[in-house]
């Protein structure tokens, strides 16, 4: 479990650091970022929020644009942000921004050539937390969150593994990927044309049949250009109503899909997670 430190920057009396390691799950090197709040310098083990980013992003977007460090420092929460896909010359890719490198969709690919590297579901669920908990002063209390494609990933991981996470949140998630162009393109490539294999990665379908439940918060911008064609929050809302899922879905007039939206409400999401991480 050797890791290489790439950079370190002090922030709100904590530290933002980047690391690289070999990911056995993905069969390639991977980079991740971690924010360690000041409490860790005093020997305290802190809980972790795993943040999953969206299409075209890396580990850097959230850490640099969301303005989350100040509140994470106050609350004593570490934040871990992995890259959004495997990368490298030997890793399969596509000319489109919405498939291949930068677009892992947090699934375990079953179709060639993607199945050699694209196992982001297992990486985020198992390998990365094992590495984080063995290498840093953190506890095994975990929450998960994400944006857009990463919001899809966060919801799916929490819905399928409720025992692993205290809470889940998402900004502008792809809530019903089996019924939108982004999801259909990615799932066809990664999982094959048998659409029955897709349901395990659709948050709306999973939430509709969920029995074990994790507190969930979703924030949607009503001026999001992808709202109706790609995100489909109404499917998630209907699923929660059908199963009695504890979903708090907040609509925000005037906000779009950008990090301006995330920065505006990241404090509310972090405080939401703190309520459950402290229990």
Residues designated as active site: 148, 224, 257
Q: Considering Cα of 242, then 245, then 246, then 252, what sign does the dihedral take?
A: negative
Question: 3-state SS string over 139-202?
Answer: EEEEEEEEECHHHHHHHHHHHHCCCCCCCEEEECCCCCHHHCHHHHHHHHHHHCCCHHHCHHHC
Residues 82, 58: contact at Cβ < 8 Å?
no
How far apart (Å, rounded) are the C-alpha atoms in residues 274 and 223?
28
Residues 253, 223: contact at Cβ < 8 Å?
yes
Radius of gyration of the chain (CA): 17
How far apart (Å, rounded) are the C-alpha atoms in residues 104 and 107?
7
């Amino acid at each position: 479990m050797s890791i290489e430190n790439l950079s370190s920057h002090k922030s709100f009396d904590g530290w933002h650091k980047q690391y690289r390691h070999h990911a056995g799950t993905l069969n390639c090197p991977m980079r991740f970022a971690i924010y360690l709040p000041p409490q860790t310098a005093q020997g305290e083990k802190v809980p972790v929020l795993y943040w999953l980013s969206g299409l075209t992003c890396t580990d850097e977007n959230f850490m640099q644009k969301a303005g989350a460090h100040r509140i994470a420092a106050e609350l004593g929460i570490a934040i871990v942000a992995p890259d959004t896909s495997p990368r490298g010359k030997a890793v399969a890719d596509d000319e489109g921004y919405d498939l291949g490198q930068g677009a892992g969709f947090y699934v375990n690919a079953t179709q060639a050539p993607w199945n050699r590297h694209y196992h982001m579901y297992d990486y985020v669920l198992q390998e990365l937390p094992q590495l984080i908990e063995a290498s840093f002063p953190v506890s095994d209390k975990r929450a998960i969150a994400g944006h857009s494609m990463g919001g899809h990933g966060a919801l799916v991981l929490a819905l399928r593994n409720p025992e692993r996470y205290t809470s889940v949140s998402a900004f502008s998630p792809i809530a019903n990927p089996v019924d939108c162009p982004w999801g259909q393109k990615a799932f066809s490539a990664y999982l094959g044309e048998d659409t029955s294999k897709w349901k395990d990665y659709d948050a709306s379908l999973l939430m509709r049949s969920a029995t074990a439940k994790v507190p969930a918060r979703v924030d949607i911008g009503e001026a999001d250009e992808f709202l109706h064609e790609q995100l489909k929050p109404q499917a998630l809302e209907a699923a929660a109503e059908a199963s009695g899922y504890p979903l708090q879905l907040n609509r925000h007039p005037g906000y779009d899909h950008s990090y301006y939206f995330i920065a505006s409400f990241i404090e509310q999401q972090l405080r939401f997670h703190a309520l459950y991480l402290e229990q």
